[in-house]
Structure 1
Amino acid sequence: MAGTVFLVPNTLGETTVESVIPSEVCLLIKQIKYFIVEDIRTTRRFLKKVDKEIDIDELTFYVLNKHTTPQQKSSFLNVVKKGENVGIVSEAGVPGVADPGADIVAMAHQQNFKVVPLVGPSSILLSLMASGMNGQSFAFHGYIPIKAGDRAKAIKHLEGISIREKQTQIFIEAPYRNNHLLKDIIANCNPKTKVCVACDITLESEYIKTKTVAQWKGKLPELHKKPTIFLIQG
């Protein structure tokens, strides 16, 4: 009988596991011996947060990143064929959402393996919940262009979609470019467009504010190197 592919949630930063991941999920994590991860070191650290008694040396890790070949990816599920359970762990939040783990999940479905998502924090959904924006219709776009001209066009395009479809638009940026992105949003959107900045979600330094572009002007928060989600609704 084949094993199960578990989608293992990670914390969104240096917060306690107990505050964001159910105890039942932690118990299940401790039973898994094979993990597909983006970075072995950070996953080891996470597992020690789950339970200090976990023997890391007894575990097997498969690295999944931009350098992983298709052949390597397909081999990761060989142990599932043999009846072993595998956990996919993201660097932060839930795997499979804005995360390379989705490729492995697709392969698992192709091979008819059972896939089980475990409950944990998703920065995308948590920011949407707290934004006060439309939670019935929304779209996550990941990273938008870096170049100034392309970025301005992308921001205006997303604002246009939001106005036409009455849909919340969600996107992110590399943490060291957050301040620049927020300035670009304020510079390119209509004064009445709502902008939510959701930063350090679930951490003690959590900051979540929704204001119109006009209200944000001259009062921008410091976001440098802080994990941040941006949401707009025209």
Structure 2
Amino acid sequence: MKKFRDRRFVCYRKLFALCLSFLFCGSLSFAQVQDFGGGGFGGGGGSGGGSATNRLNQTARIGFKTGIMKWKSHLIYSTASPTQIEIPGEVWTIGYAQGSGDYDYSYSDYSESEGYTTNSQSINFAATEFNGRYYFGNSFNIPFGYAIYKVKYPDWDYSGVTYDIEYTITQLNYGIGNEWTADWGGYLGIDWYQTGTVLSEDISVTHKSGTETGSTLSEANKTATDIKAFTGMFIITYGFGF
């Protein structure tokens, strides 16, 4: 877990440095009021200046996606901080993202000998996404994509019975956000809200040790299905294009 926390710290430090660059670099060309007018909702295309032009002048870009507030952010992004590679454009951006990370949580356990106790568990989240953005003007956009999320519970224990649990879902993502691109190549985006629709799901429960009962198997299957479509607020994307 220390290695994971160190990686998260490095990502946040890079994000902080990029934010400072956006604040103090005099060559920024952010979207103006025209983000919601000009080439805005009616026109559906770029307004011909600022971030839209800067995206058009780029061939590719690489960056990261993360959540800054775990209790409100998309849990996959705040845990896995996927790396993304994109082909930007004035009106459309398409890309690919992948990442993984561990998340610690606690849950209630029960046994006849000890009664109710609290167990700690480390969950591994892995994300693979094929994403796109449609821009209304310079920065205002609709993010969307097809995602494959895998959630693994290694050595999950209940009533003295141990399982390996793996839950895989495919999800259609969509949301609303803003993204600004500077003329020196850096970009910073905030998806104010993103939700999704689960397209398919698969649950794998493997018994490892202990005397399995109908109750323990039922609880193992229930644990996997407790996770619904991933939803979150204040999702940050940042990186550099060329």
TM range (shorter): under 0.3
Larger radius of gyration: 2
Quick check: which one's helix share is greater? 1
With normalisation by structure 2, the TM-score equals: 0.26
With normalisation by structure 1, the TM-score equals: 0.27
